[in-house]
Structure 1
Amino acid sequence: MSVLNTINKDNLPKHLAIIMDGNGRWAKQQGLLRTIGHENGTKSVRITIENCAKLGIENLTLYAFSTENWNRPKLEVETLMKLLIKSLQKELITLQNNNIRLNAIGNLDMMPKSAQKELLEVMEKTKNNTQMTLTLALSYGSREEIVSAVKKIADKVKNNIISIDSIDDSIINKHLYTQNLPDVDLLIRTSGEHRISNFLLWQIAYAELFFSEVMWPDFREEHLYEALISYQKRERRFGKTSEQIK
Structure 2
Amino acid sequence: MVPRHVAVIMDGNGRWARARGKAVMAGHRAGADAVRRCVRAAIMAEVPFLTLYAFSSENWNRAPEEVTDLTSLLRFYLRHKVAELHDQNVRLEFIGDLSRFDTGLRGEIERARKLTADNTRLTLILALSYGARHDMLLAAKRVAAAALRGEIDPAALNENDFAEHLQTASFPDPDLIVRTSGERRLSNFLLWESAYAELAFLDVMWPDFDETHFAALMTDFAGRERRFGKRLAEASAL
Secondary structure of 1:85's aligned partner: helix
Deviation digits for residues 170-227 of structure 1 (CA, Å, limit 9, x no counterpart): 1111100101001110000000000000000000000000000000000001111111
Q: What 5-or-longer segments of structure 2 have no aligned partner?
A: none
The 5 A counterparts of 1:1-246 are 11-246=1-236
- CA distance in 2 between counterparts of 1:94 and 1:169 reads 38
Instruction: Map Cα deviations across residues 133-158 of structure 1 (whole Å, 9 max, x no partner).
Output: 10000000000000000000011111
Instruction: Give the secondary-structure state (helix, strand or coil) at the position aligned to 1:101.
Output: strand
Q: Which whole-Å CA distance do the structure 2 matches of 1:91 and 1:245 have between them?
A: 43
Distance of 1:89 and 1:222 partners within structure 2: 29
Partner Cα separation in structure 1 for residue 65 and residue 74 of structure 2 = 14
Q: Where has structure 1 moved over 4 Å in runs of 4 or more?
A: none
Amino acid across the alignment from 1:149: A
Q: Shift in Å at residue 52 of structure 1?
A: 0.5
Query: What is the alpha-carbon root mean square deviation over aligned residues?
Result: 0.8
What is the CA-CA distance between 1:20 and the residue it aligns to? 0.2
Alpha-carbon distance in 2 for matches of 1:161, 1:231 = 41
SS in 2 for 1:17: strand
Cα deviation, residue 91, structure 1: 2.0
Shift of 1:132: 1.1
SS of structure 2 residue aligned to 1:61: strand
Amino acid at match of 1:159: R
Q: What number of residue pairs does the alignment pair up?
A: 236
State the percentage of identical aligned residues: 42
TM-score when scaled to structure 2?
Answer: 0.97
Q: 1:60 is aligned with what amino acid?
A: L
